[in-house]
Structure 1
Amino acid sequence: MSWQPELDELARRQAMAEAMGGPDKVKRQHDGGRLTVRERIDGMVDPGSFHEVGAIAGRGEYGPDGNLAGFTPSNCVMGRGLVEGRPVVVVGDDFTVRGGSADATIKEKPIMAERMAADLRLPIIRIIEGSGGGGSVKTIETTGRANLPGGVGGTWLYHHTGDNLARVPVVGLGLGSVAGLGAARLAATHFSVMTKETSAMFVAGPPVVNALGNNLSKAELGGWEIQCRAGSVDHAVDSEEEAFAAARRFLSYLPASVWELPRRLPSEDDPGRTEESWLSVIPRNLRRPYRIRPIIEGLMDRGSVFEMGQYFGRSVVTCLARLDGMPVAVLASDPMFYAGSWTADACAKVIRFVDLAETFHLPVVYLMDCPGFMIGLEAEQRGTIRWGVRAMAAVNQTTVPWCTVILRNAFGVAGVVHQPASRYSVRYAWPSARWGSLPLEGGIEAAYRADLDAAEDRAAKLAEIETRLQQLRSPLRTAEAFWVEEIIDPRQTRRLLCEFAGLAERVLEPGQRAHGMRP
């Protein structure tokens, strides 16, 4: 006698689970331009690699004979798979079953997914739609009582959601309406993606918000433009397939966990490659901005630049890239926005990015053109200086190798935050570099007011003082006093950065850092 009857019953239950919320709910998902959770997992992982855990977990209905008559699967699908041959944990919300809310949730499934990622030291990909297992108003009736958030003894899901940021790469894909706990799980990631036309994220959706007297659509309340500009979400794409591709690419730069090191890949791009345009890319006219992204693309391995957070804190560009095949974290000033000044948002962006680099042992390259912190009433109202000193602390607390190339401006307190303060870092300056406590423009009139007021020709005196100071502020004079280590030909920059990447690789050490990353 074999156990075939039990296996047949198992197969029947698996088929019922794979039917998800039923044909009508699946059709509704497709009609809304969205894939089902199982289609999403298949699109995310390598073909045929997904191993589901808890496939038949759900709520069964039994007839008088004790046999299973009906079945509502859990609206969480989770397990292990491969992404470009590397193992990952995937956990996804099934919106076809009660909209991903707590009414159909078995809370142990997402908790186990987070524990699996932590204890097996694997990246975790959260595919989120709905409330992410959070409760709904209807839950009060279905359970017969109101839920106290956190319960008795705390909630392990919240614990792992935050703590995994210090252990393994965490990716969040918001692929529909994401609210409440789902929004928290999407924000508590190293890299998050939304789809532009079919997703929105909010603490509470339009029905709740509009009850307060508003009249907002999903897009107006929490569409991709809102969330990417606020920095709550890192990236937005046109399709779910593009979201999967972005997640795969992000993971390619990182180790599987903090107990490993980033993988150096073979590179066909010549480390000594040079471009004549680098010699003249920085305008002599100080009021003229320039485009930083072509410079980044040129200095890094061709095709390797992966930008994060493009629409938030826009005076700073943050990218993952490779130098001679070695993954690096690239921080760069963008003079097209506020002349590269650090706003409160830019400081928040810097903090999160250098924490990512520190967590996963990525050497940092900073292409600097920062005239200081943003000034003015709005900057004061946003608490820019507090965010600035937090950014300074984050940079100073890093232990990964650091290389700064000063392209143009380095002024004020924000100018100080271009390398860790208490350890060795590599630093170069281009001939276009200029620095000081304050830029000469505007600063002369404050410092030399008495001389200017006493002059018969104020404009001539101002021009005289400026000419004299411009000669003194030459970066060559600074190098003469060894107040800056090296002024280099810009055409040698890529070669020197690739050398830095090779030196950095030798000293990287795996392990969990003292300053764990926070969302």
Structure 2
Amino acid sequence: MPSDSSGDEQSKPQNGGPYEDDGLSWKAPLEEVKAQQRLIRSPNLKDPGYIRQKAQKKLWVRERIEALLDYESFNEVGSITGKPTYNEKGELVSFVPANAVTGWGRIRGRKVFVTADDFSVRGGHADGGIFMKAPYGEILALKAKVPLIRLLDGSSGGGSVATYLTMGATYIPGLAGLGRSMDTLGAVPIASALLGPVVGLAAAKAAISHFSVMVKGLSQLFAAGPPVVKQATFEDLSKEALGGWEIHATNGTVDNVAISEHDAFDQIRAFLSYLPSSIFEHPPSVSSSDDVKRREEELVGIIPRRRARPYDIRKLIKFVVDVDGNPYPGASSSFFEIGATWGRCIVTGFARLGGRPVGVLSSDCLANGGAIDAFGSQKTSKFVTLCNHFGLPILNLVDQPGFAIGSLAERMATIRHGAAAMAALYHATTPIYTVILRRAFGVAGGAFADPEDGTGIRVAWPSGDWGSLPLEGGIEAAYKRQLDAAGSPEEREKMMADLLAKFEDVRSPLKTANKFGIEEIIDPRDTRPLVCEWANHVYESILPQLMTKRRAEYGKDGRPSGYKL
């Protein structure tokens, strides 16, 4: 954090009194500002709020900002917002700051804006805050077109009944600037770290983010805390049982989980490194030492010949994308996964191809065989919308057996959520490169295998297997009468094997390629060279045109019409 200068010696107070005013300059008022800043920026080790913060093994708000941003890059906005107290001699004796610290800073040299809750001041509630300070910061991020980072801990300016006594009346609740947050969401990346109990308005802010990460054992999220829940529903729950990471990192309310506050900051830095500062800029490219023509021998056998056997999709992804260029500590490639703990049948994340950022979309055959369920559909919709909004091309690796089926899938409204995912894919204008790795069956398979309705680039591996239904289940449906008429289970099994043998020849993806039903079948080892060449072309020739069109559509003020998660 920047150090405070002591100022002109002549304007220092004499005998502990107020600063002397020479009547000629503004030195005395400036010294008063610096005195207030010194009080605010130095923790009061005897303050109950600070003691509670440390007892819970949490960083103080200014320690968090220092850990997140580049060294000494923080430039505070509203540095003396709060309530100073003076004694009868006019001496400044204490200062109760607003419970939000806001300001500009840099992450790896790039300008950002930070709004950080100070839970040590009235637990982050409205009666410890200063009206519109945090929302004002979000407006500044929108105007400056820089990423916004929220460090959430408390209600982030949300309500507290104690305010009623201060006001002498109750009030109709407002959104406390949340409407303008929607505007900011439409123009710049927003990342939120949940660093304690996040409730009410703060919970809404966490959900209204492009990326959110909560810390195991430290943060919780809920619409209302345990005391309110107990009064309303008679459930006596701890904070963790009500809204811990095992709940919200598995239902999609938050994207990622961190093991510490510092890990959360690392993930935010990694997330932002792939995105532009605003929708009016290109995603940032970096130099890469990884050969764009690298051919991985292991890819030729990574898909098992026996179709029912699984494989590791993350290992496959890492063979294709850059092995360098990921700022996340300990990563073995440029792949930064988003949402690994929810919608697990779908894999999403950012990576680089020849230094160019791309979104990566695929399925995980280890989770429900890869069949896409309601959560997987929601995850797909959110991720495709995110990439489309910020101009990231999508590498689409397809192994999609179809929508999840059965009574649970129907109760979860899988088809309704699946239709939203299909719409997101179809309406995306960002370039998509589709590689069919293995399966593409039914409506879901069609949506993923042909997201641009015949206009996008698409290739397949020789392991491709597609159709309206998987053969095994399809034969059961098409030949049910004949199979049921078999004299014994043994005869039925033989009949099934004979039917499968008849279909095996036409199942070959080469037959489809003969009829130009698939544009090209490639050697899996050529995947990286091909997609790297595509990414380079997209960034040089396609994205500039899309960016010109976007600037024209958004007008001179650059204010977007909104962004939908």
Q: TM-score range by the shorter chain?
A: over 0.9
Pair 1:518-2:564 in alignment: yes
Q: Which of 52, 56, 65 matches 2:76?
A: 52
Aligned residue identity for 2:142: A
Unmatched runs of 5 consecutive residues or more in structure 2: 1-23, 324-332, 555-559
Number of equivalenced pairs = 515
CA deviation vs aligned residue, 1:326-357 (integer Å, no higher than 9, x gap): 00000011000111111000000000000110
Tell me how far apart the structure 1 counterparts of residues 401 and 81 of structure 2 sit (CA, whole Å).
58
Moved more, 477-486 or 197-206: 197-206
Q: Which of 347, 354, 357 matches 1:327?
A: 357
Residue 422 (structure 1) shift: 4.1
Q: Which of 98, 103, 116 matches 1:79?
A: 103
Tell me how far apart the structure 1 counterparts of residues 68 and 352 of structure 2 sit (CA, whole Å).
24
Q: Which of 475, 480, 485 matches 2:514?
A: 480
Counterpart position of 2:115: 91
Pair 1:394-2:424 in alignment: yes
Distance 1:366 1:9, change over 3 A: same
Tell me how far apart the structure 2 counterparts of residues 430 and 274 of structure 1 sit (CA, whole Å).
14
Tell me how far apart the structure 2 counterparts of residues 516 and 470 of structure 1 sit (CA, whole Å).
50
Distance 1:403 1:166, change over 3 A: same
Q: Which of 284, 291, 316 matches 2:305?
A: 284
Distance 1:156 1:133, change over 3 A: closer
Unmatched runs of 5 consecutive residues or more in structure 1: none
Pair 1:266-2:287 in alignment: yes
Tell me how far apart the structure 2 counterparts of residues 135 and 455 of structure 1 sit (CA, whole Å).
70
- The 8 Å contact of residues 343 and 376 in structure 2, kept in 1 or not, is answered as yes
Residue 284 (structure 1) shift: 1.7
Q: Which of 270, 274, 277 matches 1:249?
A: 270
Counterpart position of 1:434: 465
Residue 296 (structure 1) shift: 0.7
The alignment-based identity, stated in percent, is 46
Tell me how far apart the structure 2 counterparts of residues 466 and 91 of structure 1 sit (CA, whole Å).
61
Counterpart position of 2:13: none
CA deviation vs aligned residue, 1:206-235 (integer Å, no higher than 9, x gap): 222233222221111111121100111111
Tell me how far apart the structure 1 counterparts of residues 522 and 41 of structure 2 sit (CA, whole Å).
61
Residue 120 (structure 1) shift: 0.6
Tell me how far apart the structure 2 counterparts of residues 197 and 431 of structure 1 sit (CA, whole Å).
46
CA deviation vs aligned residue, 1:269-321 (integer Å, no higher than 9, x gap): 01111222111111122221111110111111012010000011000010100
Pair 1:181-2:201 in alignment: yes
- The 8 Å contact of residues 139 and 181 in structure 2, kept in 1 or not, is answered as no
Tell me how far apart the structure 1 counterparts of residues 372 and 274 of structure 2 sit (CA, whole Å).
27
Counterpart position of 2:243: 222
- The 8 Å contact of residues 20 and 96 in structure 1, kept in 2 or not, is answered as no
CA deviation vs aligned residue, 1:226-272 (integer Å, no higher than 9, x gap): 11001111111111111111111111000000010011111100111
Tell me how far apart the structure 2 counterparts of residues 500 and 435 of structure 1 sit (CA, whole Å).
25
CA deviation vs aligned residue, 1:8-58 (integer Å, no higher than 9, x gap): 111111123224676332232122111111111111110111000111011
Could you say what the CA RMSD is over the residues aligned between the two structures, in angstroms?
Answer: 1.8
Counterpart position of 2:39: 16
Map 1:307-386 to 2 at 5 A. Answer: 307-386=337-416
- The 8 Å contact of residues 359 and 516 in structure 1, kept in 2 or not, is answered as no
Counterpart position of 1:466: 500
CA deviation vs aligned residue, 1:392-434 (integer Å, no higher than 9, x gap): 1111111011011111110011011114344621111111110
- The 8 Å contact of residues 21 and 97 in structure 1, kept in 2 or not, is answered as no
**Helix, strand or coil: the match of 1:116?**
helix
Q: Which of 215, 219, 238 matches 1:199?
A: 219
Counterpart position of 2:50: 26
In the superposition, the TM-score normalised over structure 2's length comes to 0.88
Q: Which of 152, 157, 168 matches 2:177?
A: 157
Counterpart position of 2:8: none
Q: Which of 450, 455, 463 matches 1:424?
A: 455
Map 1:114-133 to 2 at 5 A. Answer: 114-133=138-157
Aligned residue identity for 2:514: E
Tell me how far apart the structure 1 counterparts of residues 139 and 562 of structure 2 sit (CA, whole Å).
17
- The 8 Å contact of residues 356 and 517 in structure 1, kept in 2 or not, is answered as no
- The 8 Å contact of residues 21 and 96 in structure 1, kept in 2 or not, is answered as no
Tell me how far apart the structure 2 counterparts of residues 340 and 449 of structure 1 sit (CA, whole Å).
26
Map 1:396-411 to 2 at 5 A. Answer: 396-411=426-441
Q: Which of 25, 28, 35 matches 1:2?
A: 25
Residue 451 (structure 1) shift: 3.8
Tell me how far apart the structure 2 counterparts of residues 195 and 462 of structure 1 sit (CA, whole Å).
52
- The 8 Å contact of residues 167 and 257 in structure 1, kept in 2 or not, is answered as yes
Q: Which of 144, 166, 171 matches 1:142?
A: 166
**Helix, strand or coil: the match of 1:106?**
coil
- The 8 Å contact of residues 407 and 432 in structure 1, kept in 2 or not, is answered as yes
Counterpart position of 1:507: 542
Counterpart position of 1:447: 478
- The 8 Å contact of residues 182 and 562 in structure 2, kept in 1 or not, is answered as no
Residue 84 (structure 1) shift: 0.3
CA deviation vs aligned residue, 1:475-497 (integer Å, no higher than 9, x gap): 00100000110111111111111
Residue 455 (structure 1) shift: 5.9
Tell me how far apart the structure 2 counterparts of residues 454 and 179 of structure 1 sit (CA, whole Å).
62
Residue 107 (structure 1) shift: 2.4
Q: Which of 135, 154, 158 matches 1:111?
A: 135
- The 8 Å contact of residues 36 and 84 in structure 2, kept in 1 or not, is answered as no
Distance 1:367 1:515, change over 3 A: farther
Aligned residue identity for 1:2: S
Tell me how far apart the structure 2 counterparts of residues 68 and 518 of structure 1 sit (CA, whole Å).
48
Tell me how far apart the structure 2 counterparts of residues 22 and 460 of structure 1 sit (CA, whole Å).
80
In the superposition, the TM-score normalised over structure 1's length comes to 0.95
Greater RCO, 1 or 2 (C-alpha within 8 Å, sep 6+): 1
